[in-house]
Amino acid sequence: MKPADIKAFFAVLALANPKPRSELEFSNNFELLTAVLLSAKATDVSVNKATQKLFLVANTPQTMLALGLEGLQSYVKSIGLYQTKSRHLLQTCQILLEQHDGQIPHTRQALEALPGVGRKTANVVLNVAFGEPVIGVDTHIFRISNRTGLASGKTPMAVEKQLQERIPQEYLSHAHHWLVLHGRHVCQARRPNCKTCSVANYCTFPNKILDSKLP
């Protein structure tokens, strides 16, 4: 995708949704970190369903630790990999209290030092909680970036690097959400809705579909 097309691509997404938001439900930074940690290999819908009840009784590191492992698991057992995630979350709570005064750290290095927090999760927290112009490359962003020609790469890190370099600065702060939402609701994995896609004119994928049908 050419630089002019990239700019137009994001201009269209921005016009349709000027202030995109995560579909995870949270009311403070700790809830955000918890929700993102739980969302690995799980849907936002399943996470929201569990955290709606969980956050009523535990939405700080202190109250989460007070639940204990069995107590926490009773709230999140509907989420995939809940046993491992529960252990990581409680370990994270302990570190937050011991090393960060119960607050969510504002650096990638400190975030990635927390159990269960990888680069994608750290980037999401940095972007959503602190407004950093970074992108957490999940399966949706990885797919849509390679499919559209926005950024190509065989690894999330390679795609992230290209996105950071190619997306115009004025769109970087919201690019993560625009791409996630577009990949989740329009440019889906099995059946991309190219006919109704607002940015199809800047994407190479529809052309490939048309070309494949030519004699």
pLDDT for position 213: 39
pLDDT for position 206: 61
How far is residue 206's CA from residue 166's CA, in Å, rounded to a whole number?
Answer: 21
pLDDT for position 215: 31
What superfamily would CATH give domain 29-130? Hypothetical protein; domain 2 (1.10.340.30)
What's the CATH number of domain 3-19+134-212, 3.40.1190.20, 3.90.1280.20, 1.10.1670.10, 1.10.1040.10? 1.10.1670.10
Catalytic residue among 138, 195, 208, 213: 138
Question: Is 161 part of the annotated catalytic residue set?
Answer: no
Give the phi and the psi of residue 130 in degrees, each rounded to 5: -120, 0
pLDDT for position 207: 54
Catalytic residue among 5, 85, 120, 154: 120
DSSP string, 20-73: ---SS--SSHHHHHHHHHHTTTS-HHHHHHHHHHHHHH--SHHHHHHHHHHHHH
Any idea where the domains of the chain sit in the sequence?
Answer: 3-19+134-212, 29-130
Tens-level pLDDT at each residue, the chain (215 residues):
899 999 999 999 999 999 999 999 999 999 999 999 999 889 999 999 999 999 999 999 999 999 999 999 999 999 999 999 999 999 999 999 999 999 999 999 999 999 999 999 999 999 999 999 999 999 999 999 999 999 999 999 999 999 999 999 999 999 999 999 999 999 998 888 888 899 999 988 865 544 433 33
Which tens digits make up the pLDDT trace of 115-148?
999 999 999 999 999 999 999 999 999 999 999 9
pTM over 0.85: yes
Residues in Cβ contact with 194 at an 8 Å cutoff, skipping those fewer than 6 apart: 200, 203, 205, 206, 209
Structure tokens at 50: 């569990």
Question: Is 138 part of the annotated catalytic residue set?
Answer: yes
Could you report how far apart the first and last alpha carbons of the chain are, in Å?
26
